[in-house]
Copies of this chain bind each other. A is one copy, B any other.
Amino acid sequence: MLNFESDYIEGAHPKILEKLVDTNYVQVSGYGVDQYSLSAKEKIKEAIQCPEAAITFLAGGTQANQIVIDSILDTYEGVVSAVSGHIATHEAGAIELCGHKVLTIPEHQGKMDPQELEAFLKNFYGDGNHEHMVFPGMVYITHPTEYGTLYTRDELMAISDICHSFNLPLYLDGARMGYGLMAYDTDVDLPLIAKCVDVFYIGGTKVGALIGEAVIFTKGNEPTHFITRVKQHGGLLAKGRLIGIQFDVLFTDDLYMKIAKHAIDLAMYLKEELRKKGYQLLLDSPTNQQFLILEDARMEELKKEVSFSFWEKYDENHTVIRLATSWATKKENVDRLLALL
């Protein structure tokens, strides 16, 4: 059975497992103060060119979003997101659990439009009384988005400027960050992101790690007693080394970038070949998630030999399916998939 269901169907990059084995008997203190975590943080700071960054390793993306957002917002504030944002749709109310509303604006292939963001904020502070409304307290974007799309440098800078003109921190959810950075035509890199946003996270789980995300406050703005907030939200790991070691490996010799590039190469190859074969894609995704529109009967056929994700109904007789590549995808399997289509 071929499997293109997601980018987390395998374990971890072998270098990570190797390091876990090699360091297994080294005795270190818990809760993230071990030497591996410290080393990983230094390497990330260098990669993002942001020496004043404050970094914390967490276990998952929803957890990262919940903790970051609840730590930044005041009680009466909400977070602005595109209506397709992960926090608005697929985190089971994790933001609301902590008392905060997700204030949604339209999405365009998963992205928010800087002008629509500005209009939303201007309108909020405009003519009418807003004392009875949830105040926007920060802005949330994903990069790559839920649809695999990417912001351009100009868009990212525009959103950043708008946020800061309203004194709102900008938070970027980078669950699939690596695949965005290695996209062929992107003009967005880590230092730019670190400069534009106030906090972001670099996803590990979906880019070669067993588990783990690196939450990064970039402007000397880490919330007071952040470790206590993490503990309060159930996110503090006793064996902090587990994630520290993984990011230490991922940010050694550009491994994170190299394995993401592998996934991008295969995704672009897949996209190209699908187009040659005349298939229609939902949109032109530059990253490792490709959204293929299939006739329902065709899809049922394919299911027998390939695992993939149901994305959404396209019309009465067609369905959008998601095909994802990853650091571990083999070209021969892409070819076998193409042969079936």
Contact = CB atoms under 8 A, between A and B. Distances in A.
A11 interface: yes
Counting every copy of the chain, the complex holds 4
A60 B20 contact: no
A128 B227 CA distance: 16
Nearest to A2: B27
Given A78-B96, A231-B132, A5 B24 contact: no
Interface of A: prevailing SS = loop
Chain A interface residue number, banded: 35 or more
Contacts of A26: 10-11
B97 A228 contact: no
Contacts of A258: none
Contacts of A263: none
A100 interface: yes
A211 interface: yes
Contact of A60 (B5, B67, B133, B238): B238
Contacts of A24: 10-12, 14, 17
A182 interface: no
A142 to B, nearest CB: 15
Interface in A241-281: 241-242
Contact of A210 (B66, B231, B242, B310): B242
Interface in A83-118: 89-94, 96-102
B14 A27 contact: no
A234 interface: yes
Nearest to A209: B239
Nearest to A62: B234
A21 B211 CA distance: 15
A33 to B, nearest CB: 11
A229 interface: yes
Given A23-B11, A24-B12, A75 B229 contact: yes
Nearest to A243: B211
A70 interface: yes
Interface string A301-330: 000000100101100000000000000100
A56 interface: no
A8 B30 CA distance: 7
A31 B210 CA distance: 13
A134 interface: yes
Contacts of A238: 6, 8, 60-61, 205-206
A283 interface: no
7 closest Cβ contacts across the A-B interface? A63-B234, A11-B24, A92-B232, A92-B231, A93-B134, A3-B27, A9-B27
27 contacts: A3-B27, A9-B27, A9-B30, A10-B26, A10-B27, A11-B239, A11-B241, A17-B21, A20-B210, A60-B235, A60-B237, A61-B238, A67-B234, A75-B232, A92-B131, A92-B133, A96-B99, A97-B98, A99-B99, A101-B102, A127-B310, A128-B312, A129-B310, A131-B225, A135-B228, A206-B238, A234-B234
